[in-house]
Amino acid sequence: MQLNDPTLLKQQAYINGQWISGDQQFAVTNPATGEVIAHVPDLGQAETQQAIEAAEQAWGAWRKRTAKDRANTLRRWYELVMANQEDLAVLMTAEQGKPLKESRGEIAYGASFIEWFAEEAKRIYGDIIPAHGTDKRIQVIREPIGIAAAITPWNFPNAMITRKCAPAMAAGCPVIVKPAEDTPLSALALAELADRAGIPAGIFNIITSKQPVAVGGELTSNGKVRKLSFTGSTQTGKLLMRQCADNVKKVSLELGGNAPFIVFDDADLDAAIEGAMASKYRNAGQTCVCANRLLVQAGIYDKFVEKLAEAVQKLTVGHGLEGAFEQGPLINQAAVNKISSHIEDALAKGGRLICGGQPHALGGTFFEPTIIADVTPEMLCAREETFGPLAPVFKFETEEQAVAMANDTEFGLAAYFYTRDYARIYRVSEGLEYGMVAVNEGILSTEVAPFGGVKESGIGREGSRYGIEEYLEMKYICIGGI
């Protein structure tokens, strides 16, 4: 790994503006090669407590600054992230495996939340409410909630941190981040740049750890932490929500999805193929909004499968730092086992293998981009998120059937559909029980729109003008005797 600025490769955690080595370390590996690329501290409960104390100390001064002052500091951070986009992208590809082009894209996407919330810091408006008595006045102000904790996943090692921390810090809250153990380097590089941007000690802290239970236990049980924002598996999210109940901590959860991607007979087929490729195979299928079920209407079903196969067979697979490949390795062996079990199950129950289906000849955790047709709801891949490069294709007959199939899941994050019928666009958009719906589009993430799910896909929204609400409390002030 070659960096223009090698000081962005940090191998210490960041607490209270200090770089901490810790007693134990753990290795960070490159999933494309299995090579160890760094060691970072394996911190536990005691260091988490220290970070909370530091955040508590730092909070008062940060929240008292003017919004413009906080905004300017965040803006400097944004500019430093963008100025170091290439190095941050290389670090990300090295620890996460995604193609370099996708890493560059994620750095810009991650930075866009810092830019956006720097601007939003200045727009935390209150309200004056006509009072219930002539001698009274009612005022509503919005205040920072307090110390926020962010527990983040490995699939977007940069953007999942900025999407939580930028609004928290803009609102006036300190944050403590526990990045995923697979991808701590992207988080630490962000801390180095936050430090350079002048973000004060204690406001942005990174606890690297391979002991999520200990760190998560302290973050959730410590009453000084008033907010937890989590992105990850539904199972862990439910556990953390239960833990937060004990001190009635506010939670935001961005959990699993089971995204339907519906293609109606009247769709622009080429656009639908392009959208399906972007939605399904981006990050090797390892995003929570990746199409998990392709539902295709009977009239264009065969043609769709044929064209999708042509596109998938052109996908290039390889090591992201060695060439302009379109698909990298999966994050670890567990991910390979999961996709393999979904494929095996689908084929045993009558699915038709169109292409792929095997670990890739490159070895390691590389996996062939795969399509299985004639998938039915009894198969595992219809119910669970595969989180890998498998496109399972289902056939449906009517619009009602497609919407019912799409909604037949406990999840409700993102849904996609392709049609040229404007009335259907409204009917289906409104009929889908999802937090986000993309119509004739394969990618919907942007800092300007509210990202989040319904049902067991989560609570709360990130990005957009709504995203800062998660870090604010409303205070009603009644002034009498006037």
Using CA atoms, how far apart are residues 243 and 209, in angstroms rounded to an integer? Answer: 19
**Residues in the chain, how many?**
482
Q: Minimum distance between the CB of residue 186 and ligand ADP, rounded to whole angstroms?
A: 12
CB of 242 or CB of 352, closer to ligand ADP? 242
Q: Tell me how many residues contact ligand ADP (CB under 6 A).
A: 15
Examine the residue annotation and report whether 254 is marked as an active-site residue of this protein: yes
Q: Does 409 bind ligand ADP (CB under 6 A)?
A: no
Residue with smaller CB distance to ligand ADP, 17 or 212:
212
Residue 285 lies near ligand ADP (rule: CB under 6 A): no
Rule CB under 6 A: say whether 199 interacts with ligand ADP.
Answer: no
- Helix, strand, coil percentages (3-state) for the chain, rounded to 5, are 45, 20, 35
Three-state helix/strand/coil letters over 22-86: CCCEEEEECCCCCCEEEEEECCCHHHHHHHHHHHHHHHHHHHHCCHHHHHHHHHHHHHHHHHCHH
For residue 417, state whether it binds ligand ADP (rule: CB under 6 A): no
State the Cα–Cα distance between residues 163 and 113, nearest whole angstrom.
6
Contact criterion met (CB below 8 Å) for 228 and 240: yes
Nearest-approach distance from CB 10 to ligand ADP, in angstroms: 18
Q: Decide: is 460 part of the binding site for ligand ADP (CB under 6 A).
A: no
Give the x-and-dash track for 422-441 against ligand ADP (CB under 6 A).
--------------------
Q: Does residue 97 bind ligand ADP (CB under 6 A)?
A: no
Choose which of 79, 181, 441, 473 interacts with ligand ADP (CB under 6 A).
181
The residue within the footprint of ligand ADP, chosen from 236, 340, 429, 440 (CB under 6 A), is: 236
Secondary structure of residue 391 in the 3-state scheme: strand
**Residue 476, CA distances (Å) to 170, 210, 377, 479 in order:** 21, 42, 50, 10
Q: How many angstroms separate the CA atoms of 62 and 70, rounded?
A: 8
Q: Which of 153, 369, 412, 452 binds ligand ADP (CB under 6 A)?
A: 153
The residue annotated as part of the active site, out of 102, 115, 120, 254, is: 254
By CB under 6 A, is residue 166 in contact with ligand ADP? no
Q: Using the rule CB under 6 A, is 411 a contact of ligand ADP?
A: no
Question: Alpha helices of 349-397 — where are they, by DSSP H?
Answer: 380-383
3-state SS assignment for residue 419: coil
Binds ligand ADP by CB under 6 A, chosen from 41, 172, 232, 458: 232
233 touches ligand ADP (CB under 6 A): yes
Q: Interface with ligand ADP by CB under 6 A: which residues? A: 151-154, 178, 180-181, 212-213, 216, 232-233, 236, 239-240
Q: What positions carry a catalytic annotation?
A: 254
